[in-house]
Amino acid sequence: MNRITLTLKRPFIWLSRFRHRCGYGVHSPFAFSLITQVIYESTPYYKYKDLAVEQKKLASQKDKNWTYESKKVKRLLFRLVNYTQPDTIVDAGRLAASSLYLKAGKEGADYTSASELSELFLEAGVPVDFLYLHDYRHPEFVEEVFRICAARTAKKSIFVVEGIRYTPQMKKLWKCMMQDEKVGITFDLYDIGILFFDKTKIKQDYIVNF
């Protein structure tokens, strides 16, 4: 799905998910907290301004391989990392400014970037605490990275997957991810999907109007 098509569809996407706004009908304390305090959090973190400045400095690096996430997605990535405080972050996909937001969410975290499988170097015995998987145009890449990283999860692991509803292939793959035996609670935000691996919480799939 290209950016123009997605922009035109936005009003219809929002209307179709309207009843899932602001945690409406969510009874799980964990899910309600994540939706209201992280996904819908509107606090103007001071780092946002600094990150916007740093992002402008990347202009000279942008080429045909560069990808563009919306500001709300980049800021959500920052909040999710800040919320979960992972020790390891894996950023798998095309080059993007979101890398700045991932690193800023927890400074000092072990950060690994991989735009292709040959660059996915994971330290033996170290779990993947946070994975941002963003290359929906290549679902085979997404599927393989998920397979590799899902085998390295811990109770606090969280995976964020871009474009889960952008193509028929990604819709099918997202469904398979949700059904993986290691996956617990999931959140469908249309632009991204969020997977938690804490199986002590009752598994449920939430649709969020993001």
How many domains is the chain partitioned into structurally? 1
Q: What is the mean pLDDT of each run of 10 residues along the chain (210 residues)?
A: 57 49 67 91 86 84 74 94 97 92 96 95 94 95 97 97 94 96 95 95 89
Cα 143–chain centre separation: 15
- Residue 88 is predicted with a pLDDT of 98
Q: Could you give the C-alpha distances from 163 to 58, 137, 148, 160, in angstroms and in order?
A: 23, 9, 19, 10
Are 196 and 185 contacting, i.e. CB atoms less than 8 angstroms apart? yes
Place of tokens 């072990």: 110
Tokens of 145: 């990275």
- Residue 24 is predicted with a pLDDT of 55
Coil, helix or strand at residue 210 = coil
48 class by beta-carbon count within 10 Å (0-12 exposed, 13-18 middle, 19+ buried): middle
**How far is it, in rounded angstroms, from Cα 85 to Cα 31?**
17
Domain range holding 94? 3-207
209 Cβ contact partners less than 8 Å away, ≥ 6 residues apart? 14, 17, 18, 19, 20, 21
Give the bridge partners for 73, in sequence order.
none
Confidence (pTM): 0.87
Q: What is the CATH number of the domain that holds 82?
A: 3.40.50.150
